Chain A
């Protein structure tokens, strides 16, 4: 029984961790290249979820899964063009405040449009079944979510490793000035990079909608753990963010078995311990923190 309980919570932790990873990777991309802490990231997750909710009746769950993230990314692109672009090169304080206000507007806006009550998103029936009687907690949908996250993360890393855009993003993260001097359109690069980050937020929104249902405030709860995933993994390192997200997901899952009240506190304790022993985080590199 104990092993099953433990397994149950580790699985839970991994699934939550997968969400943290998707959110944190998007945040991290934007932070590394543009030096913007996107407080509205949770808001974009909510937008993705509600778009999926709105279009599911017409094109079904699978259509929504494919279409909602790019639609969210387009909204993100517009926001970047109009609101965030004027702030590049200014004190990071300003982009922080702006996205902070934006998060307020998105939360209140979704409440205004779709109402404050939670909205369910129907998932295909065969995904809602548990896989087996012993492992009743692993429904097909949970497994499916983890697989989708894995594919998305793999594609992201392939994109960054092998495509021209990815190489430029990585180069820009290290030294944006040189990248600009080489004749690359930095404004365009930042926009595309922002869109990729928001795409990931939209995707996590669709997945979360199928698992948890939708609420205007759901993004805020995921934002802080994503910050911590980035800090724990090491600011500036995407593999670090990946490991950090999974780590804090599992840590809070396991803590929930033994000491439920501390399941949220444990991730902060982890952050403090890691910052004390490894000030740059697990995978942080020299020079990235200053």
Chain B
């Protein structure tokens, strides 16, 4: 047990060191800092989805909607309300989270494939709104005309707009914050209850746990995290895209979580890293990258259903 604990601490330390030094080791390997920033943001999104998928055992296939809402919330705030990066992040998170909370009420009673179907369909509602309401959202072209703002601490200014490295560390700080909160919730009695529901819903119900309410809370929290990740993504690109709300984006998030390993906290980050780097590479070498991404889905499902981490853990045991 003691050895297990030390091993966990070492892995955790390794992850954070790798993340902290990313701008320095990415470049020699052929990557670039902006790619690392994207990995971090999409990884946070995949972890937020996994909060629901892997730890409550509920399959949402429409989570991109809340990600996209976060992006539009941040973009619209910067464009029309105030030139403040922190405010944009909060606005994006609130927009994604509150919409998730409201729709969650409509869908918590469904289970399994039916939950997935209804979440897909409701997710598409937001896609159509972003797509059709061109006067506000820019429609098909996406929302442009805003950019992230340097953060003024009074004594000094953090220039996240022009310096790729400062922006990376700003995103890493936000990531650490969100992941910390996520880990804290999962360790709390509420988090333990989520896992109990995942393992055996009927038994949890017999124990007197209000299962629907817990699923609703988990769904809502996950949407808040998702909105936060989406808001960061808008800052990464200085752009919000309606395709970021589409169900195919949800599919990518689910894929990242499954490919990394749904049952582990850090798995989705690993999945996102592999997925984003692979997609970046494939789309630069072939026009038929869609086929390869599709093939990746098929292969992972057939041969690595427990994800990369699950695969390594099993082959070690």
Q: Are A and B interaction partners?
A: yes
Which residue of B114, B254, B301 contacts A289 across the interface (Cβ within 8 Å)? B114
Q: Once the chains bind, are B117 and A235 in contact (CB under 8 Å)?
A: yes
Is chain B's binding surface mostly helix, strand, loop or mixed?
helix
Across the interface, do B124 and A98 meet the contact criterion of CB distance under 8 Å?
A: no
Given A92-B59, A93-B59, A97-B258, do A102 and B113 touch, yes or no (CB 8 Å)?
no
Please tell me if A243 contacts chain B, counting CB pairs below 8 Å.
no
Question: B125 contacts which chain A residues (CB < 8 A)?
Answer: 265, 268, 272
Q: Name the interface residues of A239-288: CB closer than 8 Å to any CB of B.
A: 261-262, 264-265, 268, 271-272, 275-276, 279
Q: Is the interface of A mostly helix, strand, loop or mixed?
A: helix
Q: Is the CB of A93 within 8 A of B298?
A: no
**CB of A57 within 8 A of chain B?**
no
Collect the chain A residues with CB atoms within 8 Å of residue B170's CB: none
Task: Contact check, B121 vs A271: say whether CB atoms are below 8 A apart.
Answer: yes
Cβ–Cβ < 8 Å partners of B121 in chain A: 224, 227-228, 231, 268, 271
CB-based contact B290/A108 at 8 Å: yes
Pick the 6 closest A-B CB pairs, nearest first.
A101-B297, A104-B294, A105-B294, A108-B290, A101-B294, A108-B291
On whether the beta carbons of B113 and A101 are closer than 8 Å, the reply is no
Which residues on B sit within 8 Å (CB–CB) of A107?
290
Known: A96-B59, A104-B294, A235-B114. 10 other contacts (CB 8 A): A94-B305, A97-B255, A105-B298, A108-B291, A224-B120, A264-B128, A265-B125, A268-B125, A272-B122, A275-B118
Choose, from A68-76, A83-91, A133-141, the stretch at the interface. A83-91
Task: Name 13 interchain pairs, CB-CB below 8 A, sorted by A.
Answer: A35-B113, A92-B59, A93-B59, A93-B116, A96-B113, A97-B254, A98-B298, A102-B294, A103-B294, A105-B294, A268-B124, A271-B122, A290-B110
In the complex, A276 Cα to B254 Cα: how many Å? Answer: 27
With a CB–CB cut-off of 8 A, which chain B residues contact A108? 288, 290-291, 294
Q: Which residue of A lies closest to B120 (CB)?
A: A227
Establish whether residues B112 and A35, one from each chain, have CB atoms under 8 Å apart when the complex forms.
Answer: yes
A83 CB to nearest B CB, Å: 7
Say yes or no: B116 contacts A100, CB within 8 Å.
Answer: no
The smallest C-beta distance from B259 to any residue of chain A, in angstroms, reads 10
Interface residue ranges, B against A (CB under 8 Å):
53, 59, 61, 106-107, 109-114, 116-118, 120-122, 124-125, 128-129, 132, 247-248, 251, 254-255, 258, 288, 290-291, 293-298, 300-302, 305
Q: A116 to chain B: closest CB distance in Å? A: 10
> Which residue of A has the minimal Cβ distance to B300?
A97
Binding site for B on A (CB under 8 A): 31, 35-37, 39, 83, 86-87, 90-98, 100-105, 107-109, 112, 224, 227-228, 230-231, 235, 261-262, 264-265, 268, 271-272, 275-276, 279, 289-290
Distance (whole angstroms) from the CB of B139 to the closest CB of chain A = 11
A261 to chain B, nearest CB (A): 6
Report B-chain residues with C-beta under 8 Å of the C-beta of A279: 109
Q: B76 → chain A, closest Cβ, in Å?
A: 20
Q: Which B residues are CB-close (under 8 A) to A92?
A: 59, 112-113, 116
- Contact A90/B132 with A37-B116, A105-B298, A271-B121 known, Cβ cut-off 8 Å: no
Q: Are B305 and A90 in contact (CB under 8 A)?
A: yes
| Cα A105 to Cα B300 with chains together (Å) | 15
Interchain CB contact under 8 A, A98 and B297: yes
**Are A98 and B302 neighbours in the complex by a CB distance under 8 Å?**
yes
Q: In the complex, A102→B295 CA distance in Å? A: 7
Closest Cβ of chain B to A244, distance in Å, is 12
- In the complex, which of the residues B251, B258, B291 contacts A105, with contact meaning CB atoms closer than 8 Å? B291
Q: Are B254 and A109 in contact (CB under 8 A)?
A: no
Chain A residue numbers with a CB within 8 Å of B132 are 261-262, 264-265
